[in-house]
Amino acid sequence: MSSTTPDERLRTAIAKIEAAAAENRLTPASATNASRWLTESYLAEYVPDVLALVDADRFEELDRLFWEVIPFGTGGRRGLMADIGSATINNRTIGESAQGLAVYMQQATGKTSGVAVVTSDTRLRSHDFAKLTATTFAANGLKVYLFESPRATPELSFAVRHLKCDVGAMVSASHNPPSDNGFKAYWSTGGQVLPPHDKGIIDCVYQCQELATIDFDEAVAAGKIEIIGAEVDRAYIANVLAMSLSQARDIKAVFTPLHGVGETAVYRAAEAAGFEGVTIFEPQRAADGNFPNVPDQLPNPERPEVFAPAIEQARAEDAALVLASDPDADRLGIAVRNGEGEYVHVSGNRIGVLIADYILRKRKEAGTLSPEHYVVETLVTTPLIAKLAQAADVRAIDDLLVGFKYIGQTMDREGPDNFVFGAEESLGYLAGQYARDKDAAIAGLYILELAAELHAEGKTLLDRLDEIYVEHGYFTESQTSLVSEGPTGKAQIDALMQTFRDAPPAELAGITLSRARDYGTHEVRSLPDNARVEDLPQPQGDLVFFDSAPGERQISFAARPSGTEPKIKFYYFAQASCPNKDALTTAKTNLEATLTDFKTALTEWVKKVVDN
């Protein structure tokens, strides 16, 4: 009877991995990462699980777990949860994230200790991951503030500043499905980490071997971890309410946290502000990372389907609007009742337009604006916000890459005293200086105030949008995505982006595209020859815009790989002049039809490229 030694079993497993890679059953990166998890002594506890997959020839699953070392994207590290895997969120990758952040902070600042604050949303395993993060920080010599229970991402951003922390960590995967989780890293500004810090942290993560640890209860008893809650909550809500611009409170609305933390932020702020007509949607109130009562269990307020259950309650209560925050309550979506009694889902761009217009009008009336003040938005956010800012004689900074961290960075660079409003199309908004990340609570406050003022005039938020269009022209935007998951998905996305650069479409649905603006190569190219005509300044990012020729009607689209999900995103922009109110309906109908045809044509073009 022969027996196999552990070393022999490991050698056999590695040989099988190498053979699978040679047969294209595993990507090279998966083979490298899986082999490392089998051979490095500091990963020994995971060896049995990896061996079980290899022994069972489950190479497809092995590929899914190890095809990359999960990177820091536009929203930190985010992905599928699993027990093992360099490409997933698990105890090891969360521990590495915390250790890497702590080590890098100390290297970058020259400190031997430091202060950190940690919290999480309501996702599965979030609280355990938050405790793991706290103990890892504490074991690396940091004094750690840990929230007693789940809180909103913007409150974490606020807490970093309020508690004078060096770093912060939020365990969340934003609006992703229940299977996912993530780790958002914050710097002392209260903003998410930016270049070069993000690369420095990842370098430290890659160098992590043994993870520092300490018993949680012992750390609390020793004062190395301090449990916090109510005091920071009060300070955060007070800062939100200090931004109020109106006393109007007479409005009926339904709010849903989609089983997330929104009750601690959006609803608490609305209550404290005196909005007695705002009720909470009970079926989606309980903290539950499975999001059981959300359609398709996808708690993303950008999806109109998400609002359907709460709209039934809103109709029964004769409410004027429905508000929904995502699980970590940094994004806010709304649906508004129109003149026919139907509830209309409002896009993130249009919510941003409504809030920007409201703030600029109220502050103009109050005399608190100057030409030095500024509004900030990302490159893929509606140009109508910049137009509103210019009309109010304030600066518009609208050339930022995707990610609210760049809005926070701009606030610190340009001076927070002159910051008026920041927006991104994916339901992210901020006003005030108390945070450096988007906040559904301040967005909710302003939407409710504006809705209450309009209600007193017999108008709705939709009516106000129409008034803005008559004054500035009709603007409409849209998005589509191509999802490409797993180890081959990234290659497909990269190849498609390269095709956009090398052989882009010059005409779609009868719309001639006249130029490309490439933020990856820093150049403007004329079309159809795709020849460089001028330099394009910063920022640097994997983003390409294509524009039609200037005229009464303009169409543009942008393509970029998502920084947090396995997809390539397409952003569409269209605008047309609207000389008067009577022309608005025609302008809307014609432009929406044109944009629909344009999107269909691009989708077909992309399909041909991918299929070839």
Active site residues: 174
Detail the DSSP E strand segments found in 229-373: 253-256, 278-280, 321-325, 332-337, 343-346
Task: Supply 10's token pair.
Answer: 């490991």
Task: Supply 351's token pair.
Answer: 């919510």
DSSP classification of residue 2: -
Task: Supply 109's token pair.
Answer: 């600042």
Q: Are 239 and 130 in contact, with CB atoms under 8 Å apart?
A: no
The H or E element that residue 38 is part of is helix 28-39
Euclidean distance between CA atoms 515 and 529, whole angstroms = 9
* Residue recorded with tokens 């137009």: 387
Contacts of 67-70 with C-beta under 8 Å, sequence gap 24+, read 67/27, 67/29, 67/30, 67/33, 67/486, 67/487, 67/490, 68/29, 68/33, 68/487, 68/490, 69/33, 69/205, 69/206
DSSP β-bridge partners for residue 325: 332
DSSP classification of residue 530: T
Phi-psi region of 92 (alpha: psi -120 to 50; beta: other; left: phi over 0): alpha
Express the helix, strand and coil content of the chain in percent, nearest 5 each: 45, 20, 35
The neighbour count for residue 295, using CB atoms within 10 Å, is 14
* Residue recorded with tokens 């479409």: 505
DSSP classification of residue 399: E
Detail the DSSP E strand segments found in 235-309: 253-256, 278-280
Euclidean distance between CA atoms 529 and 91, whole angstroms = 51
Q: Are 88 and 82 in contact, with CB atoms under 8 Å apart?
A: yes
Amino acid making up residue 106:
Q
SS3 18: helix
Amino acid making up residue 383:
P
